[in-house]
Every structure is written in structure tokens, then in C-alpha cells.
């Protein structure tokens, strides 16, 4: 009976399973597929479940759903025919509650902290994701927090963080802290250092009583004794005899070399390597004797040592008897620098005898360079000195690919000189180039480039300053080392000490060594590389440097010194200019030094000061030493003058000094001075000046205040040669009209007209937008949008802001018409633009503003109307101030430095702009300008009438302007007024 009941129960269970549960390989997806499946299996969607059973098989069942708490997923019990829930498995989590029919498993997968620098911070839970942190032990840090959750869209990015001090590391808060000392470690997640505990099984075979002492030895002594006793010294004798053999052979070679080598260069005997050999051999023999008890070896040791000392003593006697003793290079000072100067001078002159003497008799590195990084090979090659090049090549004295300040090798320098002097077919230059190419090919097989003495000593000085090694600094100073010595990049010991916060080094360098604080490294002086807000020490260093710099700018040396040789003068002057040592520079002037002396490259102190951006030296040389001539015409070996070198965006302050002392050198594309020079050269048929301007990329179509070009003047004056150059070489435009629509051929003779017609028919001539027009376009756009006053670029700072376009509109016209108040104030107050300039429609900026006021008044826009009324008020104020003669006008000291031609040109140019304020200043400087005429015999009164500046006409007439003066076309100023039809102007002349 029992057996039959069990069988019936099994059949019942089987039938029940087939009705209420079925197994599947995959649950249906959410959406339509799940709805369709539920409708076919169960009565409703909320009864249909697809979940894991006790055996982790996917089963479909139809039951009433249950509410699941967060962190759990549904399970089906086959035995109880019921739904229950389990915690989320590893790697998954469930953030919120769910119904049993909604999910099969926990929905969210835990993140993996596998990005660069990430490690696991916490494993999370069934309710939350893992959190990540950065591996600070490998130098990674997090931007915001210590730990972050990728699920919450935190910024979990890790970055490589470097501590300023190499003896620091990161702690768990990603802060730089001192590293643990030896024997300690900072474990993961801990802030404090803990002792490293090593667990080793050490078996000792000594008794308990021997743990204290055995005789007079401690346990540590026994350890070392046992270690040495276990060491096999059976091969010590073989090793010992090999070392002895090498050492004895070395001594023999040294003696033979010193006895039989014949060389003009003094023989240098370095004792330290041999003493090191002696110590090594002695130690080996002593150790072998002590621990191996080889008594006979001890006898050999003392015998060899005695023979060794005897050999060294005899060798020293021999060297003293047969050679001149010359010490090794240990210091770089002024004496060494003078030798380098003499070497390079000899190379430039081809003086091989002097080069040989310096190589053999003086302690000098032949590969060393000067302040411009120029070597003897540079000078010999570019000076076409064949014998000097042969001498350098034969002895491999210089690195062939070494470059100078301008990144030119010796070969590059020769090619430049060859091109400039048209020596393409000259055998001498050809021979030099062949030698250099061959030398460059052979050099690498001989030896590699080495660090020359200058650089090595500079690095020794800088390293000591970086580490705060005051002992080394003092030692070098006592040896009379040049403490201002920079490396090839310009870095000095003062830079290194200031940058690393070594205040005691800074104090010593300033107080004892009196180094220059003006040397630039990466165009920055020591004070400029400091971060003042960093800490108190940095603040103290900054204050010390600033006070020291202020003292040097005003200080002088007491007393005078005897005038040294010219070579010494040049070295001192050029070094002081390079390092910005203004105090010594004043002292040299007081002592009678030749301040304009130049070196082998024709470079003066002014050239060097400009190259190294030493603005106070430039100011001193231009102001106190009157070196304006050198600034303008003092070209060096490469025909570069100091003011041309100053045209660099990184040398704005230096360039300002040139503008202050040599205003005629202002070099912008629409430069009045350059236009004046171009027009007068054409008017006087100065073809050489025209050619020079053309080679310097000057726009040969520049126009004057009347719209006339160089071609107008050359043609009108009948200068055929100048016209030929302009149309054939410079390829100027022959169709540019002047103010009265006259073309260049209008006033020309028949010969020039024929030439112009012939050129006009040439093909391939296209109009080209000049740099001036491109810059003016940018300025016009900026004035239109109201950000002209914010432009900081160097090329805009010295651009003539009253330049005009083809409609004769200036940036002030545009800014006023757009109501840009800030730009209007900037142009009037800071750039001193004339408010009287007229455009092609004879309208001044104030006229354009008045039209805008009426326009916005008609539109009913009071706010815009008020904006333009403010602009009008500023313009009117500037016009009244210019006309107010009660305001005193000072003389223009720079204006008087110009030539007569330049003063006339500038005066008429200002008259064209109606710039009454500048006109008054010019007349205060030179009253005769009122009736002076230009190349077209036109005066300032002609220009004022032609532009309709009635206020300026009144002023000129009151100051004696001749109203009957006639120009090239026999027109008086009254004729100009009648042609324009300006009745007010006509009545002014008639009255």
C-alpha cells in the first residue's frame, strides 16, 4: 500500500511540474516579446515570471508577483512551489526595489577600475556600485575627491602628479609629503610610515651563553667571520696577479709615453688615477692576507707597493726635468675669455702661428666659444682663411656641426657669405666648403662632440647653486671664477639659486660675488622666474633681487683704473653688455674705454645688448654714449644693425628705447619716415637708396599725403634711370592716381611716357595687398566691433592709427560711426589721433556721429542716441583742446633730430590730417616750417586748404603762412580753395 502511494505521489508531482513550470534556455526580452509570451503561458503579464530555480535553471512559471527589496533578485523554489529572493550575486547590484515579474537577475553590473592610474577603493554592496581611487603610490592623483563612483558620473580621471622635491611622494590624500626613511614604508591607505618587518627563519648553532659574548666578539662579529670563512678564496691569487700585471703594464706605458713622445703641447701627468690603482691593489692584498692568512702574499704586497712608489717618483722627476708643468683647467675667468677672444681673432685673420701658440703654450680648450657661441672654425671659414681651416681640420680642434647664437654652423655661414659676395665661382670659397664637408664626414669616425670647458664650468657652478652647496660656491669664488658665467642657454648660478629657493646662495652671490641680476635665461631674469606668492622665502629672494637691481641701475664704481689693451676693453664691454652689468658699463665709460669698439664680427656692445634684450644697456649706450650712428648704420658681419635686430616681438622694451632716442627708425609698414625716404630718393634720382629699400621689402607703391608715389616724382622730374628701376626691377603700379587724378605719365616727358606705356602693356603684373593694408583691415574690423583698445600685439602698438583706406577713412571714423566710445577714447588720448581728419566725402568723425544722432532720434531710440552723444562729446572736447592756444605746447625734442626733408614731410603730413595739436608742437620746435615746401613745392597751407581744415588754415595764416606761394602746378592755396568750392575757405582768404 505504501509503495503504491509513493508512485501516485511521484506521478502527481510530474503532472504538476508540466502544468505550472517549464524550463527555457533564454528568457524573452522586455517589451512586445515578453507580452506575447506571457499571454500564451499565463493569464496576465503580472503573473508571468522567468527566473532561476534552486538549481540555477531558467524556469517559466505563472504565479502572483512578490515585491523585492533593494539589493535582491527573484528565485523560484521547486520544492515549495513558491517565489523567494536572494542577494545579488558578485559583480551585480540592484539599487531600488522591484517586482518579481520585472527582473530575472539584478540589473546593474559593477564597474571595473581599469583606467590609467585607477585602483579599487571599495567593493560596493548589493545596493551600490564599486568606487575607484587613484594609485597614489605610483604618482597618480584625482582631480576632485579621494574616491569616486563611475555610476554617479563622478570625474574619476587620474593624472600624473609630480612633486617639486624628488625626496617627496604622495599620501592617500594625494598631497606631497616626505618619503619614509630607510627601513620604513607607507602602506596602502595609511598616512604614517611603519617599520618594515622581515620574517626569516634564521638557524643559529651557538649556545645560549654565546648569545651575549664569545670571547671579545659579538654575535654580529661572528656573522661576518662566518661569512668570510665560507667565502672561497682559492682563486684570489690568480685574480691578484692579473690585477698586478695590468697595473705594472700601465705604469710602464706611462713611462714610455712620457719619455719618447715628442709634442709641443705640455705633457700633463694626472696622479689621481694611478693612486686609485694603488689603493685598489693594496686593499685586495690586505683583504687576502687578513682573511686567507697568506703570509707570503703580504710580502709581495709591500714589495710591489715600494716598487710602485719608486716608479712614480722617478716619473715625476723626469717630467719636471723635460717638460713645462701646466695645470689642468680648473677655473673660467676673464683671462681665459681673453684667450678665447685672441684665438677667434687669429682664426678670422688666418694667423695660424698665433693659433698654434695658443694651442701649445696656453691652457685653453680650442673648441670653446664666445658670447655668440662662435667657434674658431666659424671665424676661419666665414673669413675664407684656408690655412686656418686646414689647421683646425688637421688637428680636429672644433666640432664641424656646432651652431652659433643664430643656429648657423660654419658651413651655413660660408654659404651665406658666398651668396652675399657673389663668390659662386670663386675657388677659395669652393675649397673651404669642400674641406668642411669632408671634415664633417670624417669627424664622427675620429671622436664625438664633447662638452667644452666653458659649458662644463658653467654647469658645475649652476649645479652647486641648485643644491645649495655654499662650500663649492665659495671655493669657486676664491679661485676667481667668473660667477656670472652662463651656460649655453643663458642660465646662471643666480637663476638656479633663485628658482630653487636657495636664499643663502642668493645672498652670497649678491653680497660677496656681486653678480649681475640682469642676465636672461629663456628671456627671463632671475627675479622674473620667481613665483612671489609661493612662500615667504621666495618673497624675501624677490625683494632682495629687486633692491639689488635698483641699486645697480644708479650705482657707480669708486675711482678709475688704467686703460687696458684694446682686446681686454672689447671683451669686458661685450661681456657686460651681454650680462646687463650697467654699473661696470658706466665705470668703463668713466675710465675712457672705447665704447663703440667692435669684435671680429663687427659686433659692438650695442649689438650684444640688443641680442640679449638688455634694455637699460641700450638706453645707456644710445643716451649717454650717443651711439645713434651705430644704431642706424653699424651693420655687423651679416649687415644687421642693432635697430634691425631689435625688431622682435620679444624685445618690445628695447625697441622702445630706439624709438625714444632714434625716432626716425620707427619701422612699421606705413612708416612716414620710410615713405619720406622713398619719395625723396625718387625725386632726387637716388637709385642706390631705391634699390636698398626694395631689397628690404619696402612697399615701393607707398603714397604721400597727396597720394603721390615714387614713380610720380621720378617721372615728373625726368629721372629716366629711377623710372626704369621702379618699373622694371621694383615693378611698381603705373596706374596709381594722385589727389587730383594725375597718373605718373601726366607730368612726364615723352621718353618716360614711352617707357611707362611699354611697361603698362607687360603681362603678369598684379596688384598686391601690402602688409600695411592687411594690418589696417584688421584695425578697421576691430574698431567696428569695439575691441581696438584691447589689441596688445606688438605690430599694432606702433602702427600709425591715423592711416586711411582707399576712402580716406581712419579707424577713428569707423569707431565713431559705430559708437564705440572706448575705442574713440583710446585713439584720441593714447594714440594721439587727429579728430580733424576727413574722408573722401569731406566728413570728419564728429560729422559721422552727428548723422547717427539724427538717425536714432528719428527712430525713437533714445538709448542709442545717448551713446552717440557721449562719443560726440569726447570728439568735440578733443577738437577744442587742440584749438585752445591757452594750453602750453612743449617742444618736440625727437622732431629736431630729423633731417630738413623729414621734418617738412612730417609737417605736411600732419597738416593733411588737420592735426592742429601736433602742428603747434612742430612749429614750437621749428617756426620756419610754416613756409617750407616739399618736392612738389607745396606748403602746409596748400595741404590744409586741400583737405578743408579751416581751423588749421586760420592758425597758419595767423603765424605767417604765405598765401601767395605757388606749387609745381602754379597753384596758390586760394586756387585750391576755389577748385574745392569751399565758400567759407574762399571768404577767409579774401578777408
Domain assignments of the chain as residue spans, ordered by start: 18-109, 118-195, 236-322, 334-450, 454-554, 566-662, 672-760, 775-990
Among 54-58, 624-628, 820-824, 873-877, whose mean pLDDT is lowest? 54-58
Residues 612-634: what's their mean pLDDT? 87
Ramachandran angles phi, psi of 949, nearest 5°: -90, 85
Q: Can you give the pLDDT at residue 273?
A: 55
Lowest-confidence region among 228-232, 437-441, 852-856, 875-879: 228-232
Do the Cβ atoms of 366 and 343 come closer than 8 Å?
yes
Q: Which of 236-245, 631-640, 684-693, 843-852 has the lowest mean pLDDT?
A: 236-245
- Assess whether the region 334-450 and the region 454-554 belong to the same CATH fold: yes
How large is the angle between the packed helices 566-579 and 334-349, nearest 10 degrees?
110
Could you give the C-alpha distances from 444 to 399, 433, 450, 456, 557, in angstroms and in order?
9, 18, 12, 21, 49
**At 471, is the secondary structure helix, strand, or coil?**
helix
For residue 69, pLDDT beyond 70: yes
Query: In degrees to the nearest 10, what's the CA dihedral of 304, 305, 307, 311?
Result: 130
CA geometry: angle 421, 422, 424, nearest 5 deg: 125
Give the mean model confidence (pLDDT) for residues 385-406: 85
Which of 607, 597, 605 has the alpha carbon at shortest distance from 636? 607
Q: How many other CB atoms sit within 10 Å of the CB of residue 108? A: 16
pLDDT at 369: 87
Residue 223 has pLDDT above 90, yes or no: no
> Helix or strand or coil: residue 300?
helix
Strand segments, DSSP code E, in 424-509 are: none
Query: CA-to-CA distance for 131 and 140, rounded, in angstroms?
Result: 16
Q: What is the DSSP letter of 235?
A: T
CB-facing half-sphere around the CA of 939: CA atoms within 13 A: 23
**Given a cut of 90, is residue 137 above it in pLDDT?**
no
Q: In this predicted structure, what is the pLDDT of residue 411?
A: 86
pLDDT in tens, 775-822: 888 888 988 888 888 887 766 776 778 888 878 889 999 999 999 999
Residue 83 forms beta bridges with which residues?
Answer: 76
Classify the phi-psi angles of 793: left when phi > 0, otherwise alpha if psi is within -120 to 50, otherwise beta: beta
Q: Give me the pLDDT at residue 716, please.
A: 92
Q: Which residues contact 571 (CB under 8 A, 6 or more apart)?
A: 334, 337, 338, 341
**Structure-block grid coordinates of residue 577:** 653688455
Q: How far apart are CA 341 and CA 364, in angstroms?
A: 11
Whether the per-residue pLDDT at 506 is higher than 80: the answer is yes
Q: Would the pTM count as exceeding 0.75?
A: no
Which has more confidence, 838 or 427? 838
- Annotation: CATH topology of 454-554: 1.25.40
Cα–Cα distance, 686 to 680 (Å, whole number):
8
List, for residues 743-774, the tens digit of each pLDDT value.
998 888 988 888 888 877 543 344 556 667 77
Average of per-residue pLDDT across 146-152: 79
Residue 264 DSSP code: S
Q: Does residue 840 register a pLDDT over 70?
A: yes
Please report, for residues 455, 460, 499, 559, 923, the alpha-carbon distance to residue 476 in angstroms, rounded to integers and kept in the order given: 15, 9, 21, 27, 61
Where on the phi/psi map is residue 738: left (φ > 0), alpha (ψ -120 to 50), or beta? beta
360 or 705: which carries more pLDDT confidence?
705
CATH topology assigned to domain 566-662: 1.25.40
Is residue 127 within 8 Å of residue 70, measured between CB atoms? yes
Measure CA 368 to chain center: 26
Q: Going by C-beta distance under 8 Å and a sequence separation of 6 or more, which residues neighbour residue 483?
A: 461, 476, 477, 493, 509, 513, 515
**pLDDT at 198 exceeding the cut of 50:** yes
Which residues, 6+ apart, have CB-to-CB distance to 44 below 8 Å? Answer: 38
Task: Please determine, for residue 359, whether its predicted confidence score (pLDDT) is greater than 60.
Answer: yes
Least confident among 353-362, 479-488, 955-964: 353-362
Is 60 exceeded by the pLDDT of residue 237? Answer: no
pLDDT above 90: percentage of residues in the chain? 16
Residue 772: its pLDDT value, please?
A: 72
What is the length of the chain? 991
Query: Residue 183 pLDDT > 80, yes or no?
Result: no
Higher pLDDT, 654 or 235: 654
Task: Tell me the C-alpha distance between 632 and 640, whole Å.
Answer: 10
Rounded to whole angstroms, the Cα distance separating 161 from 177 reads: 13
CATH homologous superfamily, domain 334-450: Ankyrin repeat-containing domain (1.25.40.20)
- Which pLDDT tens digit goes with each residue over 841-871? 888 899 999 999 998 888 888 888 899 999 9
pLDDT value of residue 261: 47
* Residue 202, helix vs strand vs coil: coil
Residue 545 in this model has a pLDDT that exceeds 60 = yes
The yes-or-no verdict on residue 262 having pLDDT over 50 is no
Taking the C-alpha atoms of residue 394 and residue 748, their distance in angstroms, rounded to an integer, is: 65
Q: What pLDDT does residue 423 have?
A: 38
Distance CA 469, CA 346 (A): 39
- Report the pLDDT averaged over residues 914-922: 87
Q: Are 514 and 477 in contact (CB under 8 A)?
A: no
Q: What is the CA radius of gyration of the chain?
A: 45
Fill in the DSSP letter of residue 896.
G
Handedness of CA 203, 207, 209, 213 (dihedral sign): negative
Give the pLDDT score at 420.
62
Parallel/antiparallel/unpaired status of strands 131-134 and 147-148: antiparallel
Average pLDDT over residues 475-485: 89
pLDDT value, residue 259: 52
Domain 672-760: give its CATH code: 1.25.40.20
The answer to whether residues 65 and 45 touch, using CB atoms and an 8 Å cutoff, is no
Indicate whether 711 pLDDT > 90: yes
For residue 252, give the C-alpha cell: 710602464
- pLDDT over 90 at 494, yes or no: yes
Within 13 Å, how many C-alpha atoms sit on residue 880's CB side?
A: 6
Which among 318, 332, 330 has a CA at the least distance from the CA of 269? Answer: 318
Residue 214 per-residue DSSP state: B
Average pLDDT score over the chain = 78
* pLDDT bucket at 330, cuts 50 / 70 / 90: low
Running DSSP on this structure, what letter comes out for residue 559? S
List, in sequence order, every beta strand (DSSP E) within 328-381.
none
pLDDT at 837 over 50: yes
Q: What is the mean pLDDT of residues 487-516?
A: 91
d(Cα 973, Cα 268) in Å, to the nearest integer?
88
* Spatial separation of the C-alpha atoms in residues 684 and 457, rounded to whole Å: 58
Arithmetic mean of pLDDT, 490-500: 91
- The upper half-sphere exposure of residue 718, i.e. CA atoms within 13 Å in the direction of its Cβ, equals 2
* Confidence band, pLDDT 50/70/90 cuts, at residue 934: very high
What is the Cα–Cα distance from 320 to 269, expressed in whole angstroms? 10
Among the ranges given (482-491, 638-647, 902-911), the one the predictor scored with the smallest mean pLDDT? 638-647
C-alpha span between 714 and 725 (Å, rounded): 10
User: Taking a C-beta distance cutoff of 8 angstroms, is the pair 487, 462 a contact?
Assistant: yes
| CA angle (77, 81, 82) in 5-degree steps | 70
The whole-number pLDDT of residue 209 equals 35
pLDDT for the residue 280: 62
Which of 777, 794, 713, 720 minimizes the C-alpha distance to 746?
713
Cβ-in-10-Å burial (0-12, 13-18, 19+) of 984 comes to exposed
What pLDDT sits at residue 264?
35
Residue 645 pLDDT grade (very low, low, confident, very high; cuts 50, 70, 90): confident
State residue 573's pLDDT score.
93
**Nearest in space to 840 (alpha carbons), one of 986, 739, 944, 971:** 739
Residue 82's SS3 state is strand
CATH of domain 775-990: 1.25.40.20
Query: Which secondary-structure segment (H or E) carries 983?
Result: helix 983-990
553 neighbors 582 (Cβ within 8 angstroms): yes
Amino acid at each position: 500500500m505504501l509503495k503504491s502511494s509513493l508512485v501516485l505521489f511521484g506521478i502527481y508531482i510530474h503532472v504538476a511540474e508540466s502544468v505550472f513550470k517549464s524550463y527555457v534556455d533564454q528568457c524573452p526580452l522586455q517589451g512586445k516579446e515578453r507580452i506575447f509570451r506571457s499571454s500564451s503561458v499565463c493569464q496576465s503579464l503580472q503573473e508571468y515570471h522567468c527566473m532561476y530555480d534552486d538549481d540555477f535553471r531558467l524556469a517559466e512559471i505563472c504565479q502572483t508577483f512578490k515585491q523585492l527589496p533593494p539589493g535582491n533578485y527573484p528565485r523560484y523554489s521547486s520544492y515549495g512551489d513558491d517565489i523567494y529572493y536572494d542577494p545579488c550575486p558578485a559583480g551585480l547590484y540592484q539599487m531600488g526595489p522591484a517586482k518579481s515579474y520585472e527582473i530575472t537577475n539584478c540589473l546593474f553590473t559593477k564597474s571595473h577600475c581599469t583606467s590609467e592610474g585607477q585602483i579599487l577603493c571599495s567593493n560596493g554592496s548589493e545596493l551600490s556600485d564599486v568606487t575607484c581611487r587613484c594609485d597614489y603610490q605610483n604618482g597618480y592623483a584625482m582631480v576632485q575627491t579621494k574616491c569616486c563612483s563611475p555610476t554617479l558620473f563622478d570625474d574619476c580621471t587620474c593624472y600624473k602628479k609630480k612633486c617639486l622635491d624628488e625626496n617627496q611622494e604622495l599620501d592617500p590624500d594625494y598631497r606631497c609629503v616626505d618619503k619614509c626613511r630607510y627601513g620604513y614604508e607607507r602602506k596602502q591607505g595609511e598616512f604614517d610610515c611603519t617599520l618594515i618587518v622581515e620574517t626569516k627563519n634564521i638557524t643559529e648553532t651557538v649556545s645560549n651563553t654565546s648569545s651575549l659574548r664569545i670571547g671579545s666578539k659579538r654575535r654580529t662579529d661572528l656573522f661576518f667571520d662566518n661569512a668570510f670563512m665560507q667565502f672561497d678564496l682559492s682563486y684570489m691569487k690568480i685574480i691578484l696577479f692579473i690585477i698586478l700585471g695590468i697595473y705594472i703594464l700601465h705604469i710602464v706605458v706611462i713611462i714610455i709615453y712620457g719619455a719618447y713622445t715628442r709634442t709641443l703641447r705640455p705633457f700633463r701627468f694626472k696622479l689621481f688615477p694611478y693612486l686609485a690603482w694603488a689603493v685598489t691593489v693594496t686593499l685586495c692584498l690586505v683583504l687576502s692576507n687578513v682573511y686567507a692568512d697568506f703570509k707570503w702574499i703580504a710580502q709581495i704586497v709591500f714589495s710591489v707597493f715600494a716598487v710602485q712608489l719608486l716608479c712614480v717618483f722617478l716619473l715625476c722627476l723626469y717630467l719636471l726635468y723635460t717638460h713645462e708643468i701646466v695645470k689642468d683647467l680648473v677655473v673660467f675667468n676673464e683671462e681665459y675669455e681673453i684667450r678665447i677672444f685672441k684665438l677667434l681673432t687669429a682664426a678670422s685673420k688666418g694667423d695660424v702661428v698665433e693659433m698654434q701658440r695658443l694651442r701649445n703654450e696656453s691652457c685653453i680648450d680650442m673648441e670653446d666659444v664666445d658670447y655668440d657661441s662662435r667657434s674658431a672654425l666659424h671665424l676661419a671659414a666665414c673669413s675664407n682663411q684656408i690655412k686656418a681651416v686646414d689647421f683646425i681640420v688637421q688637428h680636429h680642434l672644433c666640432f664641424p656641426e656646432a651652431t652659433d647664437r643664430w643656429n648657423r654652423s660654419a658651413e651655413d655661414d660660408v654659404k651665406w657669405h658666398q651668396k652675399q659676395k657673389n663668390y659662386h665661382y670663386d675657388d677659395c670659397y669652393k675649397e673651404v666648403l669642400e674641406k668642411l664637408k669632408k671634415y664633417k664626414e670624417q669627424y664622427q669616425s675620429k671622436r664625438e662632440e664633447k662638452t667644452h670647458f666653458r659649458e662644463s664650468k658653467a654647469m658645475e657652478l649652476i649645479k652647486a647653486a641648485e643644491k645649495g652647496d655654499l662650500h663649492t660656491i665659495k671655493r669657486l669664488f676664491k679661485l676667481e671664477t667668473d660667477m656670472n658665467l652662463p651656460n649655453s642657454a643663458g642660465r646662471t648660478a643666480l637663476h638656479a639659486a633663485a628658482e630653487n629657493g636657495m636664499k643663502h646662495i642668493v645672498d652670497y652671490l649678491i653680497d660677496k660675488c656681486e653678480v649681475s641680476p640682469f642676465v636672461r635665461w629663456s628671456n627671463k631674469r632671475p627675479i622674473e622666474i620667481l613665483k612671489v606668492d609661493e612662500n615667504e622665502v621666495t618673497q624675501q629672494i624677490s625683494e632682495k633681487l629687486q633692491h639689488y637691481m635698483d641699486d645697480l641701475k644708479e650705482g657707480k664704481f669708486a675711482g678709475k683704473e688704467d686703460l687696458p689693451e684694446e682686446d681686454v676693453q672689447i671683451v669686458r664691454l661685450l661681456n657686460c653688455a651681454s650680462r646687463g652689468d650697467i654699473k661696470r658699463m658706466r665705470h668703463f665709460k668713466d675710465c675712457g674705454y672705447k665704447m663703440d669698439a667692435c669684435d671680429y664680427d663687427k659686433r659692438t656692445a650695442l649689438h650684444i645688448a640688443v641680442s640679449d634684450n638688455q634694455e637699460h644697456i641700450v638706453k645707456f649706450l644710445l643716451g649717454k654714449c650717443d651711439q645713434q650712428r651705430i644704431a642706424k648704420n653699424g651693420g655687423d658681419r651679416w649687415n644687421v644693425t642693432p635697430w634691425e635686430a631689435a625688431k622682435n616681438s620679444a624685445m618690445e622694451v628695447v625697441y622702445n628705447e630706439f624709438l625714444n632716442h632714434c625716432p626716425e627708425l620707427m619701422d612699421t609698414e606705413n612708416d612716414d619716415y620710410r615713405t619720406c625716404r622713398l619719395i625723396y630718393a625718387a625725386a632726387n634720382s637716388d637709385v642706390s637708396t631705391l634699390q636698398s629699400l626694395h631689397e628690404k621689402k619696402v612697399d615701393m607703391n607707398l603714397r604721400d599725403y597727396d597720394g603721390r608715389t615714387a614713380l610720380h616724382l621720378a617721372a615728373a622730374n625726368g629721372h629716366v634711370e629711377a623710372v626704369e628701376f621702379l618699373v622694371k626691377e621694383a615693378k611698381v603700379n603705373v596706374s596709381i592716381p594722385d589727389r587730383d587724378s594725375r597718373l605718373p605719365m601726366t607730368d612726364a616727358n615723352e621718353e618716360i611716357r614711352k617707357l611707362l606705356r611699354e611697361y603698362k602693356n607687360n603681362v603678369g603684373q598684379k596688384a598686391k595687398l601690402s602688409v600695411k593694408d592687411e594690418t589696417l583691415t584688421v584695425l578697421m574690423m576691430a574698431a567696428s566691433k569695439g575691441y581696438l583698445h584691447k589689441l596688445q600685439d606688438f605690430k599694432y602698438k606702433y602702427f600709425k592709427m591715423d592711416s586711411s583706406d582707399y576712402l580716406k577713412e581712419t579707424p577713428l571714423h569707423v569707431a565713431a560711426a559705430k559708437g564705440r566710445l572706448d575705442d574713440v577714447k583710446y585713439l584720441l588720448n593714447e594714440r594721439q589721433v587727429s579728430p580733424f581728419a576727413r574722408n573722401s566725402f569731406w566728413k570728419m568723425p564728429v560729422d559721422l556721429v552727428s548723422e547717427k544722432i539724427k538717425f536714432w532720434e528719428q527712430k525713437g531710440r533714445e538709448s542709442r542716441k545717448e551713446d552717440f552723444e557721449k562719443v560726440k562729446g569726447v570728439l568735440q572736447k578733443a577738437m577744442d583742446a587742440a584749438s585752445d592756444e591757452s594750453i602750453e605746447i612743449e617742444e618736440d625734442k625727437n622732431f629736431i633730430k630729423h633731417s630738413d626733408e623729414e621734418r617738412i614731410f612730417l609737417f605736411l603730413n600732419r597738416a593733411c590730417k588737420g592735426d592742429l595739436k601736433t602742428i603747434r608742437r612742430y612749429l614750437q620746435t621749428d617756426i620756419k616750417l610754416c613756409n617750407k615746401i616739399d618736392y612738389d613745392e607745396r606748403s602746409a597751407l596748400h595741404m590744409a586748404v586741400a583737405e578743408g581744415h579751416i581751423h588749421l588754415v586760420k592758425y597758419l595764416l595767423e603765424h605767417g603762412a604765405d598765401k601767395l606761394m605757388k606749387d609745381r602746378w602754379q597753384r596758390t592755396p586760394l586756387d585750391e580753395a576755389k577748385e574745392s568750392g569751399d565758400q567759407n575757405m574762399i571768404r577767409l582768404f579774401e578777408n
